[in-house]
Structure 1
Amino acid sequence: MRHNYRCPLRWSDMDAYGHVNNAIFLRYLEEARIDFLALRAKESEEGSVVARHEIDYKRQLVHRPDPVDIELWVTEIRAASFTIAYQVKDEELVYVRASTVVVPFDFETQRPRRITSEEREFLERYRDGAEEEAVAA
């Protein structure tokens, strides 16, 4: 299963050429990731931090009033990290393919932690290993 997020484009996202600035895509990925992880709806002292981003820019996204779709899924679940893949796209056009390695984190102890069985169960529902095209394509 995949999670879909409709990301609004803001006027301030635009560069001098009228395109969405490449650095802004990191914020778009963050918004989609937060929307996805909020599906767990579990308040805790534990959260997660980003260990790595990889972004492959495919084409320019021209600023417009309509949102862009961000599709995300889980490609790998390890003992103490998981990888999320994304496509920022419209129906037929892919603007960005990306992946993020996320590390569960205990904010009270300020240390990384292992993925709990509940978290693993949640992530497994969004695992889509057959489509690891996020950055490879």
Structure 2
Amino acid sequence: MRHIYRCPLRWADMDAYGHVNNVVFLRYLEEARIDFLFRPEKDFKQGSVVARHEIDYKRQLVHRHQPVDIELWVTEIRAASFTITYEVKDPDQVYVRASTVIVPFDFSTQRPRRITSEEREFLEGYRDDEEEAVAA
């Protein structure tokens, strides 16, 4: 299963050429990740931190009033980290393909922690190891 986040575009997201600035895509990924991980029914209450981002820019996204879809899924689950893969896209084209390595974190002890069995069960529901062919 995959999670879809409808991300609104804002005027401040534009660069001087009317395109969404590349740096803004990190914020879009963060918004999608928060929408995915911090829902009332499944919450990573103990916290998590980003260990790594990787972004592959495919096309420029021109600012518009309609939201863009961010589709995300889990591609790897380890004992103390997991990887989320994203596509920022419209039905007919992909603008960005990205991944983020997340480390569960206990803010009270200021230390990384293992993924709980409840968190693992939740993440497994969104696991998809298949890589989709993405048009350049």
TM norm structure 2: 0.94
Q: Deviations over 1:72-118 (max 9, x none)?
A: 00000000000000000000110000000000000000100000000
Tell me which amino acid in the other structure corresponds to 1:9: L
Is 1:62–2:54 an aligned residue pair?
Answer: no
* Segments of 4+ moved more than 2 angstroms: 39-44, 131-134
Computed over aligned residues only, the root mean square deviation of the Cα atoms, in angstroms, reads 1.6
Is 1:91–2:84 an aligned residue pair?
Answer: no
Give yes or no for contact 2:104–2:115 (8 Å, CA) kept in 1.
yes
In the aligned structure 1, how far is the partner of 2:82 from the partner of 2:132? 13
Structure 1 residues not aligned, in runs of 5+? none
Give yes or no for contact 1:7–1:28 (8 Å, CA) kept in 2.
yes
Structure number with higher helix proportion? 1
Is 1:37–2:37 an aligned residue pair?
Answer: yes
Q: Percent identity?
A: 81
In the aligned structure 1, how far is the partner of 2:85 from the partner of 2:131? 9
Counterpart of 1:8? 8
Q: How many residues align?
A: 134
Report deviation, 1:132. Answer: 6.4
Give yes or no for contact 1:5–1:70 (8 Å, CA) kept in 2.
yes
In the aligned structure 2, how far is the partner of 1:91 from the partner of 1:132? 14
Give yes or no for contact 2:84–2:100 (8 Å, CA) kept in 1.
yes
